[in-house]
Amino acid sequence: MSYFSLEAEQSVLGSILLAPDLIYESLLMPDAFYHEGHRVIFENMLSLREENKKIDVVSITSRMGQALQDVGGMSYLVDLSKSVPSISDFSSHERIVKEKYLMRTGLIAVKEVYSGGHEDPVEFAAELMSIAEKIGDQSRDREGFSHIKDGLMNHFELLNDKKYNGQALGVSTVGTELDRITGKWQKQTLNIVAARPSMGKTAFLLNNAVRNGKEGLTVAIFSLEQPEMQLYDRMIAAECYIDGERIRTGQLRDDEWETYTLGLSVLTEMNVFIDDRPGLSVQEIRAAVRKLKKRHPDLIVYIDYLQLIKGGKKFSNRNDEVGYISSSLKQMARENDCPVISLAQLSRGVEQRQDKRPMMSDLRESGNIEQDADTISFLYRDDYYNRDTEKKNIIEIIVAKNREGSVGTAEMMNLKQYGKFKDFDYRLQ
């Protein structure tokens, strides 16, 4: 396999000599050229472009002087322009130059990682995946425009659906009021749900995941804190309205066994995938999601929880690492066209205030979480802190940031013995 194409490089340079305006369409940098002489010629073409001067054989010869003689002199420039069969091939030849350049830089980067003496295989794999992601991003076609006609027709279809469905499109959350405030979980968004311990983060995640599964979506759950079987305990307790303690101990009453069996039949029909490996890196999560997305396009991703994810490489401080992780999760949502919901831990600063309802500043090791997240919600139970509260068995879901919608607080019934959240207008059967 060749890691350069002199013919493609010659064609790019020759095409610009024949049609100088092509230099304004080119996004190549001089380093993309393998041949040193070609690199120098292109550098001078760029300089002439910046100075708004004409790009032709004479101006380049005058500018390069002796350096051109090392390449082959004016006759080489003339030969370049004569060697181009058609300038219509400029884009395809430019793409070949770019692809060869990415292959060379990728190979160099891999060699550097290999010679770096990594002793941790996870860190080594993370570095390789990071290189692959960068090359993949850079190799995409540069065309990013869409015609307004196409965009507005899509807008019409979305607005029409909203009118007749009565709500914004998106993936439903566990609560009607929460749907109204957030506009539901939208594709390509990163949604952070944060709380102090014992507020019900994991229960909230599982309630949402089961609802999405029942609606026919494929659900991916990354549980970095709890093993798979503990999640099943919680899912079954919430689905069957069986006390979670009896599920955990196996002490089901005779009448609960039938309910348990019926609940299993419902849950097993859902397309839910759970990965409970501890200490996953963000690169491993992205790779797993990409693989699952290929088999199941209609996907939603849940992560428990953000601060347990590893960055996969060295960082100067933990804030930088968490910022890198949140940015990677946002990229994952966009590249897989799916919502990503990640739980997050709050700092102990909450406990020091009289009003213990969380605020943005309470996000632990926040890094760029505020910037990257499309929505940030906090879970709060007043009955956890205040025995005499009027809000017993109520969970407050405080939407503090919503890039595309409103903010506010949704309240739901919190049936703690089942780990179940319910709208107020629901009644147990």
- The verdict on 411 and 348 lying in the same domain is yes
In this structure, is residue 147 part of a structural domain?
no
In this structure, is residue 124 part of a structural domain?
no
- The verdict on 246 and 339 lying in the same domain is yes
- The verdict on 199 and 98 lying in the same domain is no
In this structure, is residue 140 part of a structural domain?
no
With vertex at residue 309, the alpha carbon angle to CA 399 and CA 125, rounded to the nearest 5 degrees, is: 140
Q: pLDDT value at position 388?
A: 84
Number of domains making up the chain: 2
Domain final residue, candidates 117, 150, 177:
117
Say if CB 270 and CB 221 are below 8 A apart.
no
Q: pLDDT value at position 48?
A: 83
In this structure, is residue 141 part of a structural domain?
no
Q: pLDDT value at position 397?
A: 93
- The verdict on 375 and 289 lying in the same domain is yes
Q: How many Cβ atoms sit within 10 Å of the Cβ of residue 254? A: 6
Q: pLDDT value at position 146?
A: 65
- The verdict on 103 and 233 lying in the same domain is no
CATH number of residue 173's parent domain: 3.40.50.300
Residue 386 vs residues 121, 273, 307, 391: alpha-carbon distances, Å: 48, 38, 28, 9
- The verdict on 300 and 377 lying in the same domain is yes
Distance CA 325, CA 263 (A): 36
Place of tokens 């540069």: 142
The dihedral sign for the CA sequence 330, 336, 339, 344: negative
Distance CA 309, CA 322 (A): 8
Say if CB 402 and CB 183 are below 8 A apart.
yes
Residue 312 φ/ψ region, left for φ over 0, alpha for ψ in the -120 to 50 degree band, beta for the rest: left
Domain final residue, candidates 117, 133, 156:
117
In this structure, is residue 139 part of a structural domain?
no
Q: pLDDT value at position 429?
A: 39
- b/e 142-172 (16+ beta carbons within 10 angstroms → b): eeeeeeeeeeeeeeeeeeeeeeeeeebebbb
In this structure, is residue 408 part of a structural domain?
yes
- The verdict on 217 and 111 lying in the same domain is no
In this structure, is residue 276 part of a structural domain?
yes
Terminal C-alpha separation, the chain: 67
In this structure, is residue 317 part of a structural domain?
yes
- The verdict on 369 and 247 lying in the same domain is yes
Spell out the per-residue pLDDT of the chain, length 429, in tens.
Answer: 678 888 888 889 989 888 888 887 787 888 889 888 888 888 888 888 878 788 888 888 888 877 777 777 888 888 888 878 788 888 888 888 888 888 888 787 777 767 766 666 666 666 666 666 666 666 555 455 566 777 677 766 766 766 555 555 788 888 888 988 988 999 999 999 999 888 899 999 999 999 999 999 999 999 998 888 888 889 888 988 888 888 888 888 888 888 888 888 888 888 999 998 888 888 888 888 988 998 998 999 999 889 899 887 778 888 888 888 998 899 899 989 999 999 998 888 777 788 888 888 888 666 578 888 999 999 999 888 888 888 888 999 999 999 888 899 999 988 888 889 988 764 443
- The verdict on 222 and 321 lying in the same domain is yes
> What's the domain range around 216?
167-422
- The verdict on 178 and 81 lying in the same domain is no
What letter does residue 360 receive in the DSSP assignment?
Answer: G
- The verdict on 257 and 387 lying in the same domain is yes
CATH number of residue 75's parent domain: 1.10.860.10
- The verdict on 16 and 108 lying in the same domain is yes
What letter does residue 380 receive in the DSSP assignment?
Answer: E
